[in-house]
Structure 1
Amino acid sequence: MNRKSAFYLVFSFLLVFSWKGHAQEVLTKSEAVKSVLDNNYGIKIAENDVEIAENNTGILNSGYLPSLSTNMGWDFSLQDRLAEIEGRDPLDQNDLETQRYNASLDLNYTLFDGMGRIYNYEQLKLEHNLSQLEARETIENTLTQMFSVYYELARRFKNVEVLENTLSLSRERLQRVEYQFNYGQINKLAVLNAEVDVANDSINLINEKQNLDNIKRDLSVVLNEELSAEFVVDTTVNFIPILEIENFIDEAEDNNVSIRQIKENLLISEYDRKLSFTGYLPRLDLFGSYGWNRNISPESPFFPGSVQTTKGYSAGVSLSWNLFDGGQTSVRIQNAKVAYESQQLQKEQIKISVARDIKNAFENYKNRLYIYNLQEKNVATNENNFDRTREQFKLGQINSVEFRQAQLNLLNAQTSYNLAKYDAKLAEVQLLQLTGQLLNTEF
């Protein structure tokens, strides 16, 4: 074996050894799901929005509680007074101080506001439900993104395994043709071809590992977690039975997040209509107050200086009724009605779009499953063909070019199989999202 051939063999050996020489931690699908739910920024923001909406539905934001306020004040004045009274000498008074103190505790409660509080409270509860659906949509989109990266990473891992095996076979072939050349059974061209193939397979493996490292970093970004450089992912794939998928499709209208969101928006618009009618109704308020006042007055030409203190309670009921507001309430009612009709139209539009998307996704899923099954059979055929070609090559019945062709056919079949498998799984994930079952499925 010459030095050049030895270099290729040692280089390819080190390449594989460096890949497998470290302990590798497996990141399972369930661990990836948990990580993205716990750490992803978009999901955290959506959860904060849900918390805000939940706070808005509390009793403190309902308008059913009374308001209690206090008022305190102090007035001070310093004046000079000249009093001229007929028949008397003018009275000149300087630095006359006047002070006033007041304090009150006021209670107000709305007894009736035209049903506005009831409608507003129900609307807030619906908005809370809507925020939960929006958070769910964010989670579904993020999980779909995560699975697309995760399965792409799994595909690259399988491709690396295939390329490692291809490189190992090329090294084996190079050794064989070296022996054959040394014993004069073949010419130098066969050795050179084998060396070129070892070099090409090594380069392909290096490039694929680089792609693998890049996708690892993509997954770290989606998970918002620093992952070990040596981690691997679970490359196994299990498909949901078609019958179960069809059941998901039948129930999609009740579970699809877009349809459920528009239904909530439709209910919110209904309460907007009801709220607009409250402008025609009266408002009844109850108020009560406890007050304390003190006035310190200077003397005058007719009265001596005095200090007056008063305190006491007051209560009452006020009724207000806007009999005519220039037609603003009428306009609000008309606009709310039109907005509700628009929401109904949007609901029908979304239902049609979702039904189309589900049908397209289901057909795509079935086609990818079919291709996956074909590729699986194709791999088995190429493996059988390669095993026979390999035996014939060992016996010298075929040349290295024919061996290489069978090797490339197997490589292409295996990489196409990996692509078909994970494409089919991603198509299933997208279909689960459209049918509203993504968060109910274990991967």
Structure 2
Amino acid sequence: MKTKYYLTVVFAWICSGLTAQNVLTKEEAVATALDNNYGVKIAKKSVEVADNNTSILNAGFLPTVSGSAGATYNLDNTEAEFSNGETTILNGAESSRYNASVNVNYVLFDGLGRRYNYKRLKEEYQLTELQARETIENTILQLFSVYYNAAQLTDNLDALKQTLNVTKDRLVRAGYQFEYGQNTKLEVLNAEVDINNDSINIINTRQELKNAKRDLKLVLGETFTEDFQVETEVDFTLQFQKDSLFEKAKSRNVALLQTEKNIAISKLDINSGKSAYLPTVGLTGSYGWNKNNNNAASFVAVSTNTGLSGGVNLSWNLFDGGATITRVKNARINLETQQLEKENLLLSIERDFNNAWDDYMNKLEIYNIQEKNILTAQNNFERTEEKFKIGQVNSIEFRQAQLNLLNAELSRNSAKFEAKLSELQILQISGELLNVQF
């Protein structure tokens, strides 16, 4: 009775531990990855830097203000001869000078170079946002790749446990039949071998599941100390028709949008290069203070000056050896290159979209077939089990029906998650991945 009591307590404790495990939902996984994934964090920091670069403080439109100050001390031996013929000799004559000033420089006109550079910074900021979006999309795909791998292994583990339970029941039945002389020892040995094989499969799958969860933690940027479960249910939520999705791909694909930003930046580079052909006009101003303490040989002992000064300057680089011409030519070539890359990318997007769409349709059809195959394999197993119980089917035929059902379940699990990942890939190509509910 004591042993039975302890077994009951242990079993209850194990069950309570299993039910207490947290379930990491898909929505929670996405939110956690967006907050904690290190690749996403780095991408967000790049956006912050690009945002800082677009500030008026970095555009060159504001004046520059600088201050300067200095002091000089002299100790001289001086011999001075005045116009009346008198001569003065000073040894160790002291003199000092002090100065301080505030200087202001402001560029009134630089050939519109600042204006184009400021626009370029705006475009670069938007380009950085698109690069961050691409990182987020790739992270989400990576997340679901490992998440669904863990989910598939969870389903596989459940199927393997059910198979093991059936094999254990068969061993118990074979043992009773052997005791009562209805079967030979061979049936018992066959059941024990199958139990060992089923147990090994469970051990291997359980280890694969642990590894998959570790991969998932890495993508999430988390270090969970407690075990967790994942959702195994999958909803196919693709609501768009093929043509409408393809139109979205040609306007919202993140790689295409980045190429268009590069084209806009190249156009601004051309205009910025042309600005070097024009003159630069600037204003200068300063406020200064100067004090001189002269030695005894000077006519003025002490002099102090304060005052404002201002001016206008103009500089025009009439010829810089052809550097500006070369820079503008290269900017035009770079623009043509970006336009060619866009045309090539459109062809790649069309190919990738059609391949992804066909792959999704095929995998979805395979999944539906596998669902039907499960019903057939289940029906076959149940009938074989009934015949096995009344002795019309031997253990080898029963085992084969059992394995057929198991293989059908494993194939169905694989097809289910592969079809879902294909759906996500279509959504990424079409630029809709971040607009769906997971």
TM-score range, shorter chain: over 0.9
Q: Taking every aligned residue pair, what percent have the same amino acid on both sides?
A: 51
Change (3 A) 1:227 1:246: farther
Residue deviations 1:96-128, cap 9 Å, x none? 122111111111111111001110000000000
Name the CA distance, whole Å, in 2 between partners of 1:423 and 1:103: 75
Letter in 2 for 1:31: E
Is 1:159 aligned to residue 177 of structure 2?
A: no
Alpha-carbon RMSD across the aligned residues, in angstroms, is 1.9
Selected match of 1:136 from 133, 139, 145: 133
Letter in 2 for 1:133: L
Is 1:25 aligned to residue 19 of structure 2?
A: no
Partner SS for 2:427: helix
Is 1:55 aligned to residue 84 of structure 2?
A: no
Name the CA distance, whole Å, in 2 between partners of 1:264 and 1:16: 61
Whether the 8 Å CA contact 2:146–2:212 is kept in 1: the answer is yes
Partner SS for 1:68: strand
Greater Cα shift, 303-312 or 143-152: 303-312
Selected match of 2:38 from 31, 41, 44: 41
Moved over 4 A (4+): 14-21, 84-90
Alignment of 1:6-405 (within 5 A): 22=18, 23-83=20-80, 88=85, 90-241=87-238, 243-244=240-241, 246-300=243-297, 303-405=298-400
Name the CA distance, whole Å, in 1 between partners of 2:210 and 2:187: 35
Residue deviations 1:2-35, cap 9 Å, x none? xxxxxxxxxxxx9999688532210000000011
Name the CA distance, whole Å, in 2 between partners of 1:20 and 1:256: 47
Change (3 A) 1:86 1:369: closer
Greater Cα shift, 393-402 or 127-136: 393-402
Instruction: Give ranges in structure 2 of 5+ residues lacking alignment.
Output: 1-9
Letter in 2 for 1:188: K
Whether the 8 Å CA contact 2:269–2:331 is kept in 1: the answer is yes
Whether the 8 Å CA contact 2:238–2:423 is kept in 1: the answer is no
Change (3 A) 1:212 1:187: same
Question: TM-score scaled by structure 1?
Answer: 0.93
Partner SS for 1:251: helix
Is 1:411 aligned to residue 406 of structure 2?
A: yes
Q: 1:88, CA displacement in angstroms? A: 4.9
Letter in 2 for 1:212: L
Partner SS for 2:289: strand
Residue deviations 1:220-259, cap 9 Å, x none? 1111112244310000001124644653222111111100
Name the CA distance, whole Å, in 1 between partners of 2:87 and 2:307: 40
Name the CA distance, whole Å, in 2 between partners of 1:356 and 1:37: 30
Question: TM-score scaled by structure 2?
Answer: 0.94
Change (3 A) 1:363 1:20: farther
Q: 1:304, CA displacement in angstroms? A: 3.7
Whether the 8 Å CA contact 1:287–1:315 is kept in 2: the answer is yes
